[in-house]
Structure 1
Amino acid sequence: MVELTVAADAFATHLERVRRLSPATVRAYRSDLRDLVQTVGSVPLNKIELEQLRDWLWRSTQRGDARSTLARRAAAARSFFAWAKEEELISVDPSLRLISPKRGRTLPVVASQDGMRTLLDSRRDAAASGDAIALRDHAILELLYASGMRVSELCGIDIDDLDQDRATVRVLGKGSKERVVPFGIPARDAIGAYLTRGRAALVARTELATPGVFLGARGGRLGPRSVYTMVAKALGPIIGADAVGPHALRHSAATHLLDGGADLRAVQEILGHASLGTTQIYTHVSSERLTATYRLAHPRA
């Protein structure tokens, strides 16, 4: 009989090596299954019953976990036990009747177009000093907003992935899916200035060569956490929300594309969403902004 902890580790390895899910997704599944182990104990896998899984979710509710967390944990359990049955580690799947709570619809936090213009103009002026970090940060903000890419995708970009003539960049998204994303002239100019004047100065700070486009202060490849900190500091005054990171630029890019008349499926391709339903959240943002404008402007609203 296989213990729950052993099976959970094997499942995480399967997600990483066979299904090739992103490191962040694998970490989330590991965390959820670890929480399950803490609740039911390291018992034989075939001894776990539906009521234990329901109790696990109930305890999560009592801790005040968000609906999205509960829904993710239920999905993790269903995926885990379905895999275990396929691997013949269990004969009966106890999660088949495990119901996950519906996610509450939380609209993304989005910057205004005027706010983004002000922010990027100020970063362009700061980069004019020639400081390597200022040049890099301006290029990062322009590219994130122009392309709507994820921060993990940005940090993974190599020099060979950039095509500045065509103003496109090749990125590796979730599930190791590759796509080519366009960006505009301001982003191209900012990236060009950074590569010419900023990156060379950062490369000189280390003896270890890296093909990465965006480098840290010591010359190594820049990590997601550093980008998050920089973007959060830049966006805070513009959006006025706590914990606003790079994903807010992704939300803003998608919303502003739709506001400008972009096709929903084109936005889906640009963002790298597997499902059109994921992209549709931005239509709600656009419609709510339109409604708010109407109510403020129309005399009979």
Structure 2
Amino acid sequence: MEDELKFFLQYLQIEKNYSEYTIDNYRRDIEQFYKFMIEQSIKKVEDVEYIDARLFLTKLYEEQMARTTVSRKISSLRSFYRFLERENKITGNPFLLVSQPKKGKRLPDFFYDEEMQALFAACEGEEPLAIRNKALLELLYATGIRVSECANIQMNDIDFELCTLLVKGKGKKERYVPFGSFAEEAIKRYIQKSRSILIQKNDHQHSALFVNARGGPLTPRGIRHILNQIIKKASLSGKIHPHMLRHTFATHMLNNGADLRAVQELLGHSHLSSTQLYTHVTNEHLRKSYLNHHPRA
């Protein structure tokens, strides 16, 4: 079973070009199912039947997992078995007819202007790592790019004359995203006063824009760790996660009158429906403003 999982993960990496974070989720989901198979004395993936898939779904519900988590795990296993079918390892997909839980329309969380100011204040400093963190935060907020996309940025992907960034997104799709003067200033300062020091200090030679404390390329996991540290330092309360910066970018753009199609292009969404979720956030924002300020609301 380990060989089958290994080949599937290679397929996701090479053919699907999925991010390290996404591949790790697939691996954990399938390994969890492998443990379930051992509990049920099922020795081979081809021995799994529809009734076993249904039993696994019941087990997930009994563990009181969120609907989105259950849906992702079923989707992961459905894709895994589809891959095995393609490779002629099995003759049927036991997860094909397993119904996924309906996803609730959960609005994306975002930072308010005051919270963003607190995050930027938490990055102030003259140390190389503080300068890097400020550039990282400015760029993520200025462009709305994913953490995985940020980790893939190379030095020659930045055009300071046009203030644009070449972003390599999901499925090998590329797009150009503009960035503003705050991000431009922070990135230039980082390249001049931080990146070169970190690389020379540790004798690393590569073209990745963002580097870690040892001078090597910064990974998506490393970026998430840095953002979590910034969030903690800013002492922000509530449920907070690094992907909120992407949500914040989209929400603030729409709140300030940006065109929905333009935001779709900037985010790299294939379908407008993915971007339309943010209109619910802005509509709710307008509704609250109306209720708070209209004399006859």
TM-score after normalising by structure 2 = 0.90
Quick one: distance in 1 between partners of 2:243 and 2:134?
17
1:283 aligns with 2:279: yes
Report if aligned partners of 1:7, 1:45 keep a CA contact under 8 Å in 2.
no
Residue deviations 1:212-242, cap 9 Å, x none? 2222222222233333233234335475224
Alignment partner of 1:25: what SS? helix
Partner residue of 2:69? 69
Distance 1:92 1:156, change over 3 A: closer
Task: Confirm or deny: 8 A CA contact 1:108 1:285 kept in the other structure.
Answer: yes
Match of 2:188 among 186, 192, 202: 192
Q: Which sections of structure 2, spanning at least 5 residues, go unmatched?
A: none
8 A contact 2:157–2:165 mirrored in 1: yes
Deviation at 1:137, TM superposition (A): 1.4
Q: 1:276 Cα deviation (Å)? A: 2.3
**Residue of structure 2 in register with 1:91 after alignment:** 91
**Alignment partners' CA distance in 2, 1:25 and 1:138:** 26
User: Which among 28, 31, 34 is matched to residue 34 of structure 1?
Assistant: 31
Task: Map 1:117-266 to 2 at 5 A.
Answer: 117=117, 119-120=119-120, 122=121, 126-127=124-125, 130-236=126-232, 237=234, 239-242=236-239, 244-266=240-262
- Residue type of the alignment partner of 1:222: L
- Which residue of the partner structure matches residue 13 of structure 2? 16
* Residues 163-188 of structure 1: per-residue CA shift (max 9 Å, x gap): 11111111222223222211111111
Contact kept, 8 Å, 1:115 with 1:238, in 2: the verdict is no
User: Shift in Å at residue 89 of structure 1?
Assistant: 2.5
SS across alignment from 1:246: coil
**Structure 1 residue 77 displacement after superposition:** 2.1
Cα deviation, residue 123, structure 1: 5.7
Which amino acid is 2:219 matched to?
G
Q: For residue 44 of structure 2, what is the aligned residue in structure 1?
A: 44
The aligned residue for residue 296 of structure 1 is 292
RMSD of Structure 2 on Structure 1 (CA): 2.1
- In the alignment, is the contact (CA less than 8 A) between 2:19 and 2:148 conserved in 1? no
Contact 1:110 1:239 in 2 (8 A): no
Farther off after superposition, 196-205 or 224-233: 224-233
Q: Matched residue of 1:109: which SS? A: coil
Q: Is the partner of 2:202 in helix, strand or coil?
A: coil
Q: Contact conserved, 1:111 with 1:239, CA < 8 A, in 2?
A: no
Q: Secondary structure at the match of 2:246?
A: helix
Deviations 1:18-64 (A, max 9, x none): 22222222221121111111112353333211110011111112122
Cα separation, partners in 2 of 1:51 and 1:226, compared to 1, 3 Å: same
Contact 1:132 1:198 in 2 (8 A): yes
Find the residue that maps to 1:71 and give its secondary structure: helix
How far did residue 267 of structure 1 move? 1.3
2:141 touches 2:249 (CA, 8 Å); kept in 1? Answer: yes
Q: Secondary structure at the match of 2:201?
A: coil
- Which has the larger displacement, 215-224 or 145-154? 215-224
Is 1:7–2:4 an aligned residue pair?
A: yes
SS at match of 1:181: strand
Runs of 5+ in structure 1 lacking a partner? Answer: none
Q: Percent identity?
A: 36
